[in-house]
Amino acid sequence: MTSLNKAKGKARRAAKAKAKEDEAVTNQPLGGQASQRNDAPMSGTTTTARCNHGLVPSHYHPQSHVASNNLQTCKWFLQAFVNEFDGTAGDFLAAYHATKEKCAVVWNDPSMMEFVVSFLLACGAGKVMEGNIKIASKYAALACYFEQYIQVELLNTRPFPNWPKIRELYAANSHTTVSFLKRRIPCSCLDEKYKEVKSIPKIGLCCSPECPLPC
């Protein structure tokens, strides 16, 4: 009986340690110099004091499609992509080609890619609430890029990415950024912020070679 109790206690301690490890995955910053850039995403933990804006890590929710042991893989993938993305001054395709082979396990898995999108949307909403629109726009653009990658490459539900939309988000103002994120999170956390910025004219990118306006 004593041996059985010891075994059960050991199993409980191992489960708690695993949960803490997975939670740490969602709390780590993106990019090697994230703390200096004020680029650290919001926490992924579930507490009553902070809304997760739709992000529910799998070890908190039994219906999650991402296995608990894959959370760290998603975080590793996103870290690698963002490092390449930042290192090439925001080149999506350069970051893709630099990670497509070493991170193929994530690129080819719709569930893991959907978790990455959810994570970025939650981070972007958090940055809006902190008042950091520049970083929120970056997260929104990355979420849009991965969202469309899933649709084009994995689900075949659209023929090609909407590159003007993706690049527009990367350089977006507060109205464009908040509007994009608000439509994609299930909570009402950005409702008040949207009321503040909806009077600001949206900006967009024109791809017409005949456009008379300067780029």
Q: What is the widest separation between alpha-carbon atoms in the chain?
A: 83
Q: Which residues contact 60 (CB under 8 A, 6 or more apart)?
A: 46
For tokens 């997760």, the residue is 52
Q: Concatenated DSSP letters for 23-34? A: HHHHHSPSSTTH
The predicted pLDDT at position 71 comes to: 83
Q: What is the DSSP letter of 64?
A: -
Please report, as a single letter, which amino acid is at residue 156.
N
Q: Token pair for residue 89?
A: 């001054």
The predicted pLDDT at position 190 comes to: 95
Written as tens digits, the pLDDT of the chain (215 aa) is 555 565 556 666 655 555 455 444 444 445 544 433 445 443 343 333 478 898 865 444 445 556 666 888 998 999 999 999 999 999 999 999 999 999 999 999 999 999 999 999 999 999 999 999 999 999 999 999 999 999 999 999 999 999 999 999 999 999 999 999 999 999 999 999 999 998 887 766 665 666 665 55
The predicted pLDDT at position 199 comes to: 86
Please report, as a single letter, which amino acid is at residue 21.
E
Calpha distance 139→162 (Å, rounded):
17
The predicted pLDDT at position 62 comes to: 47
The predicted pLDDT at position 94 comes to: 97
How many whole angstroms from its chain centre is CA 215? Answer: 29
Residue 173's φ and ψ, nearest 5 degrees, are -90, -175
Please report, as a single letter, which amino acid is at residue 23.
E
What is the dihedral sign for C-alpha 38, 41, 46, 50?
positive
Q: Are 142 and 120 in contact (CB under 8 A)?
A: yes
